[in-house]
Structure 1
Amino acid sequence: MRQRKLGSQGLVVSEQGLGCMGMTFAYGPVDGQEALRTADRALELGVTLLDTADFYGPHTNEEFVGKVIAGRRDDIVVSSKVGNEVAPDGSITGRLNGRPEYIRSCVDGTLSRLGTDRLDLYYLHRVDPDVPVEESFGALAELVAEGKVRHLGISEASAATIRRAHAVHPLSAVQTEYSLSTRDVEHNGVLATVRELGIGFVGYSPLGRGLLTGAIRSVDNLAEQDFRRVVPRFQAENLAANLSVVERLEALAEAKGVTPGQLALAWVLSQDVVAIPGTKRVGYLEQNVAASDVRLSADDLAALDAIAPHGSTVGDRYPVGAMATLDG
């Protein structure tokens, strides 16, 4: 698998990482052994970046990743995140917390759950509007100085906030949702800013949380605990409109002899970014990795722009409360 630089601080990762959230959190019941097999298979196929967060579970996802990396830590780039507040009893509070003392209080727990002495990449998961981002990154920079963290990143931040954080300590990565169904970063200055500043970009949910695979035709097909049941773009009328776009994607994919998911993922990779598709099944993982071999011509790219231009997806990408946590 091709390698890509994230930032100018020396971090290099596979162009596809593995988003581990769904292996323990958010998408319904999980077969733990199949999830472990999936992560192991990803590493066999050349994936080097595993992405998690203390919020996922909470905590159980980091524990899962800790099992995956045990005995082979030096071969894997591990990223985690802090800033979606988790109470001392392990419950989700629903608040953002970017206070320096909170960040410092979280990192040791993350390292313990992962079974490691350092994080390769540590993101501010969400920007706390009540705390200047300079203060949050002051604390994160101290963790770098202490050797607990190698590189810093920020997730779902505006272009202006990215500049402010980067001025405190060089960012290696900005992580934001990016796919044919979510192209906001092309228009809100985020992609332009990271490229200007030499910061890497990591796109999560590059398959539109499964929308772009064509496999989701109704929320009734999703598990009761699957959070997509409350995501606006998966609701009945919105989903019907979005599936009309997916059907055109399916037609183009069939003509190229690939799946719609592989075509959508190949498009993200063609933007010279790192993608972290998530899955908990070996079969889907192998399909995703194969997307790195799909080459898109100029005509293909033009056709995809016509099929799924910015703004073509109907419905927000999160419920109202979660949308309010996005910076800018």
Structure 2
Amino acid sequence: MQTRKLGKLEVSAIGLGCMGFSHGYGATPDRQQSLDLIRYAFELGCTHFDTAEGYGAGDNEVLVGEALRGVRDRVVIATKLLIEESSVTNPADTQIRAHLEASLKRLGIDHVDLYYQHRISPNIPVEEIAESMGKLICEGKIRGWGQSQATAEQIRRAHAVTPLTAVQSEYSMMERMVEREVIPACKELGIGFVPFSPLASGFLAGRVRAEDRYQGDDVRRVITRFDKANIAANQPLVDLLHRFADEKHVTPAQISLAWMLAKEDFIAPIPGSRKRDRIEENLGAADVELTASELEQIETELAKIDIYGNRTDEDIAKLYR
């Protein structure tokens, strides 16, 4: 497995997003199966595992910690906290420390390698968060820190206080907004970029059908790119992926991941999967090399394609109302 640098952290070029083992995509695997799949990803060379306190109300951290206990010193564990308010009696620093201690306990570890602010709070200055993260780095509680879904301006302000290790945001062939300002800012400042949903919740694997139905807390129920009309409207993108995949004798998902790996060397996606063959497929994308000519061809074709539907926090919140 090739490796990449997120700041000073070295990770496998492709990591594993672990959210789906606990929630977000309908029925979850049984616990032993989930443990086995996380361990299997490690056996295949994955060293970057992403979780959050909010996934399964903390249970995902417990799962990830248990799965990786025997190889803790050989992996990078990333988790996230979410705070929205701060006050004189309950300042952000106090909250961050409490959240971190709870995550460490659930994970069963003494430090987190990469600690993200899950979403930027509208009420707490990013500088205040950055200062607290800097203290935790000095104390050895975390090795690095990051932001999720931050703007370039927020990234710059936070980085000026405590250098960021990584920024995690949605990025795929179906969602390229971060290419305008965020990824260039990360490149300029030496910050790693970690795409979540790099396969657009599975859409870019090329197997989505208009007649598919999703149950329970499956986010595809509310992500508009999975609306029946949008599935049909986005078919040109799927056709493009299949064409390049056939030419390279790989899969559409591997073309999607290889495309972003070829864009910048500080990009390290974290696709999620709950099946052995899909984990093999996704991690195998690190071995798919796109030439400069092939990348240019893909970019030229993508520029001709309109994308219909998206994925927003507001839509996903509808699942839990």
Q: TM-score, normalised by structure 1?
A: 0.89
Deviation at 1:220, TM superposition (A): 3.3
Residue 89 of structure 1 corresponds to which residue in structure 2? none
Q: Secondary structure at the match of 2:60?
A: helix
Q: Secondary structure at the match of 2:201?
A: helix
Residue 74 of structure 2 corresponds to which residue in structure 1? 75
Q: Secondary structure at the match of 1:255?
A: helix
C-alpha distance in 1 between matches for 2:276 and 2:34: 8
Deviation at 1:66, TM superposition (A): 1.0
Residue 10 of structure 2 corresponds to which residue in structure 1? 12
Residue 314 of structure 2 corresponds to which residue in structure 1? 320
Residue 64 of structure 1 corresponds to which residue in structure 2? 63
Query: Is the 8 Å Cα contact of residues 137 and 143 (structure 2) preserved in structure 1?
Result: yes
Mapping of 1:41-52 within 5 angstroms?
41-52=40-51
Gaps of 5+ in 1: 87-96, 324-328
Residue 53 of structure 2 corresponds to which residue in structure 1? 54
Query: Is the 8 Å Cα contact of residues 233 and 239 (structure 1) preserved in structure 2?
Result: yes
Letter in 1 for 2:95: Y
Deviation at 1:196, TM superposition (A): 0.6
Deviation at 1:307, TM superposition (A): 3.3
Tell me whether 1:118 sits opposite 2:111 in the alignment: yes
Distance change >3 Å, CA 309–CA 33, structure 1 → 2: farther
C-alpha distance in 1 between matches for 2:204 and 2:33: 23
Deviation at 1:227, TM superposition (A): 1.2
Query: Is the 8 Å Cα contact of residues 231 and 319 (structure 1) preserved in structure 2?
Result: no
C-alpha distance in 1 between matches for 2:228 and 2:92: 40
C-alpha distance in 2 between matches for 1:298 and 1:138: 41
Residue 195 of structure 1 corresponds to which residue in structure 2? 187
Mapping of 1:221-236 within 5 angstroms?
221-236=213-228
Mapping of 1:274-313 within 5 angstroms?
274-309=268-303, 312-313=306-307
Please say which of residues 112-121 and 216-225 is displaced more in the overlay.
Answer: 216-225
Residue 326 of structure 1 corresponds to which residue in structure 2? none
Which one of the candidate residues 251, 254, 260 is aligned to 2:243?
251
Distance change >3 Å, CA 165–CA 322, structure 1 → 2: farther
Gaps of 5+ in 2: none
Residue 143 of structure 2 corresponds to which residue in structure 1? 150
Distance change >3 Å, CA 53–CA 98, structure 1 → 2: farther
Listed one character per residue, the Cα deviations across residues 188-224 of structure 1 (whole Å, up to 9, x for unaligned) are x111111111111111111111000112213733333
Distance change >3 Å, CA 63–CA 199, structure 1 → 2: same
- Any runs of at least 4 consecutive aligned residues in structure 1 with deviations exceeding 4 A, and if so which? none
Letter in 1 for 2:122: P
Tell me whether 1:210 sits opposite 2:167 in the alignment: no
Distance change >3 Å, CA 70–CA 14, structure 1 → 2: same
Query: Is the 8 Å Cα contact of residues 237 and 305 (structure 2) preserved in structure 1?
Result: no
Letter in 2 for 1:291: A
C-alpha distance in 2 between matches for 1:37 and 1:113: 19
Q: TM-score, normalised by structure 2?
A: 0.91
Deviation at 1:308, TM superposition (A): 2.6
Q: Secondary structure at the match of 1:122?
A: strand
C-alpha distance in 2 between matches for 1:240 and 1:293: 31
Q: Secondary structure at the match of 2:165?
A: strand
Deviation at 1:53, TM superposition (A): 0.5
Please say which of residues 224-233 and 156-165 is displaced more in the overlay.
Answer: 224-233
Letter in 1 for 2:5: K
- Equivalenced residue count is 310
Query: Is the 8 Å Cα contact of residues 183 and 310 (structure 1) preserved in structure 2?
Result: no
C-alpha distance in 2 between matches for 1:310 and 1:11: 37
Letter in 2 for 1:228: R
Listed one character per residue, the Cα deviations across residues 252-277 of structure 1 (whole Å, up to 9, x for unaligned) are 21122111111111111112211111
C-alpha distance in 2 between matches for 1:85 and 1:116: 26
Letter in 2 for 1:235: D
Distance change >3 Å, CA 157–CA 98, structure 1 → 2: farther
Query: Is the 8 Å Cα contact of residues 219 and 235 (structure 1) preserved in structure 2?
Result: no
Residue 37 of structure 2 corresponds to which residue in structure 1? 38
Letter in 1 for 2:44: L
Residue 28 of structure 1 corresponds to which residue in structure 2? 26
Listed one character per residue, the Cα deviations across residues 113-146 of structure 1 (whole Å, up to 9, x for unaligned) are 0000100110111000111111122222222222
Residue 98 of structure 2 corresponds to which residue in structure 1? 105
C-alpha distance in 1 between matches for 2:17 and 2:73: 19
Deviation at 1:102, TM superposition (A): 2.1
Letter in 1 for 2:175: T
Query: Is the 8 Å Cα contact of residues 98 and 127 (structure 1) preserved in structure 2?
Result: no
